[in-house]
Amino acid sequence: MANPFRFGQIVSGELFCNRKSEISQITHNLAGGQSIVLYSPRRYGKTSLLYAASNGLRSNKILVGYVDFFACNSTEKILLAMSRASAKAIVDEMRSFEKFIKSAAHFFNRIRFSIRFDPNDDGAISVLPELSSRTTSMDNLYDALSGLNSYLNKNNKRAAIVLDEFQQIIKVDSNLEAEFRTIIQQQDRIAFAFLGSRMHLLKEMFINKNRPFYRAAKIMELGPITTDELAKFIKKRFAKIGISLSGQLALRVTERVNGHPDYAQRLCSHIFDIIESNTVTEEHVEKGAVNMLVSLTPSFRGIFEELPLRESQVMTILAEHGPIRTFTTKLIQPYEMGTPALHKALSNLMLKDLVFKGKDKSYFILDPFLTEWIRMVSKDKGQFSS
Phi, psi of 128 (to 5 degrees): -110, 110
pTM of the model: 0.89
pLDDT at 120 over 60: no
Domain assignment present for residue 79? The answer is: yes
| Boundary (domain end) residue, out of 263, 280, 301 | 301
Q: What is the pLDDT of residue 121?
A: 55
Confidence at 377, pLDDT banded by 50, 70, 90: confident
The boundaries of the domain holding residue 261 are 227-301
Q: Could you give the CA distance from residue 91 to residue 116 in angstroms, rounded to a whole number?
A: 14
Beta-ladder partners of 113 = 129
Confidence at 385, pLDDT banded by 50, 70, 90: very low
273 and 162 inside one domain: no
Domain assignment present for residue 12? The answer is: no
Phi, psi of 39 (to 5 degrees): -130, 155
The pLDDT of 107-135, averaged and rounded, is 81
75 and 115 inside one domain: yes
208 and 286 inside one domain: no
Q: Could you give the CA distance from residue 152 to residue 146 in angstroms, rounded to a whole number?
A: 10
Q: What is the chain's mean pLDDT, rounded?
A: 92
Domain assignment present for residue 13? The answer is: no
What CATH code is carried by the domain that includes residue 292? 1.10.8
The pLDDT tens digits for 27-56 are: 999 999 999 999 988 888 899 999 999 999
Q: How many helices (H) and strands (E) does the chain have?
A: 16, 9
Q: What is the pLDDT of residue 240?
A: 93
179 and 249 inside one domain: no
Q: What is the pLDDT of residue 384?
A: 43
pLDDT at 359 over 90: no
Domain assignment present for residue 7? The answer is: no
The pLDDT of 117-130, averaged and rounded, is 71
| Boundary (domain end) residue, out of 301, 321, 350 | 301
Domain assignment present for residue 208? The answer is: yes
Domain assignment present for residue 212? The answer is: yes
244 and 189 inside one domain: no
The pLDDT tens digits for 280-298 are: 999 999 999 999 999 999 9
Phi, psi of 196 (to 5 degrees): -175, 150
The pLDDT of 3-20, averaged and rounded, is 89
What CATH code is carried by the domain that includes residue 102? 3.40.50.300
Phi, psi of 351 (to 5 degrees): -65, -30
42 and 178 inside one domain: yes
Domain assignment present for residue 263? The answer is: yes
| Boundary (domain end) residue, out of 250, 285, 301 | 301
pLDDT at 382 over 70: no
pLDDT at 123 over 60: no
217 and 238 inside one domain: no
The pLDDT tens digits for 139-162 are: 999 999 999 999 999 999 999 999
Q: What is the pLDDT of residue 304?
A: 93
Packed helices 247-256 and 282-305: angle between N→C axes, nearest 10 degrees:
10
Confidence at 118, pLDDT banded by 50, 70, 90: low
The residue with greater pLDDT, 123 or 344, is 344
87 and 215 inside one domain: yes
Q: Could you give the CA distance from residue 386 to residue 100 in angstroms, rounded to a whole number?
A: 51
Instruction: Give percent of the chain with pLDDT exceeding 70.
Output: 96
Domain assignment present for residue 110? The answer is: yes
**Which of 69, 71, 339 has its CA nearest to residue 180?**
69
130 and 200 inside one domain: yes
267 and 187 inside one domain: no
Let me know: does 167 contact 72? Beta carbons within 8 Å.
Answer: no
The pLDDT tens digits for 184-222 are: 999 999 999 999 988 889 999 999 999 999 999 999 999
23 and 162 inside one domain: yes
Count: domains in the chain = 3
Confidence at 245, pLDDT banded by 50, 70, 90: very high
Q: 9: which DSSP letter? A: S
pLDDT at 122 over 60: no
The pLDDT tens digits for 299-329 are: 999 999 999 999 999 999 999 998 999 999 9
What CATH code is carried by the domain that includes residue 321? 1.10.10.10
DSSP strands (E only) in the chain: 36-39, 62-68, 112-118, 124-130, 158-164, 190-195, 218-221, 355-357, 363-365
Torsion sign over Cα 65, 69, 71, 74: positive
Let me know: does 200 contact 351? Beta carbons within 8 Å.
Answer: yes
Q: β-pairing, 112-118 with 36-39?
A: unpaired
The pLDDT tens digits for 160-178 are: 999 999 999 999 999 999 9
Confidence at 386, pLDDT banded by 50, 70, 90: very low
346 and 296 inside one domain: no
Question: Would residue 8 be called left, alpha or beta, if left means φ above 0 and alpha means ψ between -120 and 50 degrees?
Answer: left
Confidence at 264, pLDDT banded by 50, 70, 90: very high
The total of other beta-carbon atoms located within 10 Å of residue 209's CB is 6
